[in-house]
Structure 1
Amino acid sequence: MVVAIVETGEKEMVTLVSRTGRHLQRYSSIGRRLVVGCIPYRFIEDETSKNCSDRDIEVLVISSQKGYGHGVLFPKGGWETDESMVDAASREALEEAGVRGDVQERLGKWSFKSKRYGTYYDGFMFPLLVKEQLDLWPEEHVRHRRWVTVAEARESCQQWWMKEALETLVNRLSNSVGHTIKDLTVIEKKMGHQLH
């Protein structure tokens, strides 16, 4: 069990515990484990930027529990029966990366084979516009996190399907032609309210 104590406001603290076990795990109709993840991102404020490009965005990557020597990835984990997909994406971001924010419209669904178990999973990925980065979080002692450019994430991400999800996010943000970074921040806030 992994525990973190987090301040949530004036003199208020909450104990966060990372979920473990698979007794609430969801599976597809053909027996594939369903996982949900997110790509935590933020805009780099640049007053001279005219349009959004992948140079204007940073994404938060995490190490596997084995460490950075095994590549990086985005937060993801099992989708459980007592939560929505959006709740699962938000929970994974908090547990594994220690960030909170606005979960936005789903990027897509990918089927992939687990290297560890040799079974197929269905993975759903969402963008998460980061609003808060916590100093303490449930998996801080077993995972490392770092903000990187999109190019660095493309290079070091160990999962092909997460790289595809990243490209989908970059394309979505870049296709907002004619919008400045500040305009995109407003658009992203609105998108956060249209989750499906």
Structure 2
Amino acid sequence: MGVKDRSTQRYTPNGDREVAVALILAQPVAGEWALVFVTSRNHASKLTLPKGGWESFESVEEAARREAIEESGAHCIRCASLEAWEHQEFINSGKQSRCLLHVVPLLFERFEDTWLEQAERKRFLIPVEQITNGNSTLNIENEEFTIKKEFVDVVRQHFKNDVFLALLKTLKT
């Protein structure tokens, strides 16, 4: 696992934990945009975007890229035409703490064959259309997974935005 020492963790003035979220955009063979999701460490049937604490010694982009590699083995490059954004705070139910998500759009380059959290997580490419069309429960490889609500909200909010979609059309992976 990655950084566990919370002494370098960023917090908002209210004490909410600041979390970097890697929104990894990939274009499969069919040309349809997909996102990299991973299983939750604590709930194997829940899917989440790679995410984790934003440390004081790194930029939010560095944190998101670190989390992408640790949790999914995905190497990414910065999507220069898409800015990072903050998303609503949410309650981390396992720890009863509040978090502020900093979503960083990244372009997928490649997967490592092995990665740091491989024993704890599975990784999947999920077509964006499946999520924006209201599917938060998916059957993948004969297993049922549910995408965590806060990440369904992130995807729906930004992939229903015409400006965001227009920018995606200009990108090449």
Once the two structures are superposed, residues 130-176 of structure 1 have per-residue CA deviations (whole angstroms, 9 ceiling, x without a partner) of 01211111111111101122244441454322112212442357631
- Residue aligning to 2:65: 90
Distance (whole Å) between structure 2 residues aligned to residue 107 and residue 30 of structure 1: 19
Residue 35 of structure 1, CA deviation: 0.7
State TM-score, norm by structure 1.
0.71
CA shift at 1:74, angstroms? 0.4
Aligned partner of 1:62: which letter?
A: V
Distance 1:147 1:158, change over 3 A: closer
Q: 1:131 to 1:112 in 2, by over 3 A?
A: same
Give TM-score, length-normalised by structure 2: 0.79
1:26 to 10, 15, 22: 10
In 2: Cα distance, 1:67 partner to 1:138 partner: 18
Check if 1:175 corresponds to 2:153: no
Task: Find the residue that maps to 2:35 and give its secondary structure.
Answer: strand
Q: 1:162 to 1:58 in 2, by over 3 A?
A: same
Which residue identity is paired with 1:60?
V
2:154 maps to 1:165: yes
Q: 2:118 aligns with which of 140, 146, 155?
A: 140
- Write the distance in 1 (CA, Å) between the matches of 2:20 and 2:127: 23
Match of 1:123 among 76, 90, 101: 101
Structure number with larger C-alpha Rg: 1
Aligned residues: 158
Say which of 13, 20, 23 aligns to 1:36.
20
Task: Give the distance between the partners of 1:127 and 1:148, measured in 2 at CA.
Answer: 15
Residue 62 of structure 1: aligned partner: 38
Contact 2:87-2:101 at 8 Å conserved across structures = yes
The one-letter code sitting in structure 1 at the alignment partner of 2:122 is H
> Match for 2:155: what amino acid?
L
Identity within the alignment, %: 22
**CA contact 1:110–1:122 (8 Å) conserved in 2:** yes
For 1:185 and 1:36, the matched residues in 2 are separated by: 22
Secondary structure of 1:175's aligned partner = helix
Is the contact made by 1:98 and 1:134 (CA closer than 8 Å) also made in structure 2? yes
C-alpha distance in 2 between matches for 1:151 and 1:35: 25
SS at match of 1:68: coil
User: Counterparts of 2:27 and 2:50 in 1: how far apart (Å)?
Assistant: 19
Q: Distance in 2 between matches of 1:148 and 1:175?
A: 17
Q: Contact 2:87 / 2:100 at 8 angstroms: preserved in 1?
A: yes
Cα distance, 1:94 vs. partner?
A: 0.7
